[in-house]
Amino acid sequence: MNALKKQTTEKNIPAWLTLLLAAACGIIAANLYYAQPLVGEISTSIGLSANSSGFIVTLTQIGYVVGLLFVVPLGDIVENRRLVVMSLLLTGAALAVTAVSKQAVPFLAASFVIGLGSVAAQVLVPFASYLASETSRGRVVGNVMSGLLLGIMLSRPLSSLAADFFGWHAVFALSALAVIILAVVLSKALPVRKPSTDTSYTALLGSMWHLLRTTPILRRRAAYHACVFATFSLFWTTAPLLLSGPLFHFSQKAVALFALAAVAGAIAAPVAGRLADRGWTKPATGIALAAVAISMLLPLIIRTGSPVGVAVLVVSAVLLDAGVSANLVLGQRALFSLSPEIRSRLNGLFMAIFFFGGAVGSAIGGWIYATGGWSAALWIGIAFPIAALLYFATERRYNAQRG
C-alpha cells in the first residue's frame, strides 16, 4: 500500500508543489544576478579597484559552474531533499557574509560560495521531472523553469530598486533571510527521493565525460542553448549601457523598469513545455531560435532615440527572453526523457555548457560595445542564433542517418 501511494505521489505532482518548486528556483537563481547592476556601488564600498570590479560577478558565476559540474551530479546518488536543503543553508550563510562585508576578500569569497550553493535550483528541476508523469513532464518542467527564469529576469531590476531605497547591503540581507526560510519550507514540504544508483562519487564524476561523448541529444541541445544564451548575456550586458548613454539618458530606475518589462517573455516557458508534451519539440525549437535572431535584427532595422526606439527595444527584449526561455525548457524536456538515473548529471553538463556560452557572450558584449558600438554588438548577437539555426538544420539529416 505504501509503495502504491509513493508511486501515485511521484506520478501526480500536486499543483501547489509545482508552484513551490517554481518559486524556489526563482528565489535561488536570482542570487546569481543581484550584484550585476550594483557592481560599481559595491566595488567602491569594499575598496575594490575598477579594474577588479568584474570579479564581483565573475566569481559567483565560476562558483555556479563548479557547482554544476561537482554538486548537481550528486543528485543521482544523494537523497535529493537533503542535498537541496544543505546547499540552501550554505547559500544563506554566504549571503549573510556579503551583507555585512566591508572588505573585498570576504565579499569575493562569499560570492563564490553563493554561486556554488545556488545550483540547488538545478537539483530541483530534475527533481520535478521525477515527480511528474511522462505525459505531463514538459508542462511541469516548463512551469518550474518559468519560475527560475522569472527569478533571473526580476533579479536585476529588483536589486537596483532595493539598493536605491535601502542600500546594497540590504539586498543581500533580505536574500539571505529568504533563502533560509526557503530551506526550512522545502525540508518540510519536499518528498524524500533516494536515488537507486549506488555509484561512488568518483565514478559518478568519471562518467560525465562518457555521457557527453555518448549522448548526442545532450551535445545538440547544449550547443543550441549556448548560442542563444550567449546572445541573451550580450544583450543584457550592452542594452543598459546604451539606455544610460547619450542616446536615451535613462536613469538607473528607468533601466530597471526596462528590464522589468522584458519579464513578459518568461510566459514562453510553460507554453514550450506543453508543445513538447504534444511532440512538437522540433518545430518549437526552430521558432525559438528564430525568435532570438529576430530580436537582434529589429533594433538594427529601426534605430532611433525617440520613444519608438525604446518601444522597439522593449519588443526585442521580450522576444529575446521568450526565445531563450522556450529553448531552455525544450532542451531540458528532451534530456529529462532519458534515463532517470542520469538526469542530474545530464542537467549539470547541459547547464555548464550553455552557461559558458553566456559567459562568452557577456565578455564579447562589453568589449564589442566599447570598440564598435551598439550596431556591432547586435551583429554579433545575431551571429550566435544563426549558427544555432544552421546546426539545427542538420537535425533532420542526422536523424535520417541514424534511422
**Residue ranges of domains in the chain, CATH in brackets:** 12-402 (1.20.1250.20)
Give the model confidence (pLDDT) of 42-80 as tens digits. Answer: 888 998 876 666 678 778 888 998 998 899 888 888 899
User: How far apart (Å, rounded) are the C-alpha atoms in residues 373 and 384?
Assistant: 18
Cα dihedral: 217, 218, 224, 225 (round 10): 140
pLDDT band at 397 (very low <50, low <70, confident <90, very high): low
Window from 130-139, 213-222, 272-281 with minimum mean pLDDT: 130-139
Structure confidence at residue 281 (pLDDT)? 92
Q: pLDDT at residue 23 above 90?
A: yes
What residue spans of 215-335 are helical by DSSP H? Answer: 216-244, 252-261, 268-277, 281-301, 307-335
- How much is the pLDDT for 149? 81
Over 90: is that where the pLDDT of 262 sits? Answer: no
pLDDT at 297: 95
Query: What is the chain's mean pLDDT, rounded?
Result: 86
How far apart CA 70 and CA 68 sit, in angstroms, is 6
Provide the percentage of residues in the chain whose pLDDT is more than 90: 44
2: pLDDT confidence band, cut at 50, 70 and 90? Answer: very low
* Burial (Cβ within 10 Å: 0-12, 13-18, ≥19) of residue 64: buried
Take residue 289 and report the three cell numbers written for it. Answer: 531560435
For the chain, report the end-to-end CA distance as a whole number of angstroms: 43
Per-residue pLDDT band at 82 (split at 50, 70, 90): very high
Q: What does the pLDDT average to over 368-394?
A: 93
Query: Within 13 Å of residue 308, how many CA atoms lie on the same side as its CB?
Result: 5
User: Is residue 197 predicted with pLDDT exceeding 80?
Assistant: no
More confident residue, 133 or 321: 321
Judge whether residue 295 has pLDDT over 60.
yes
* Residue closest to 129 by CA, chosen among 341, 349, 352, 399: 341
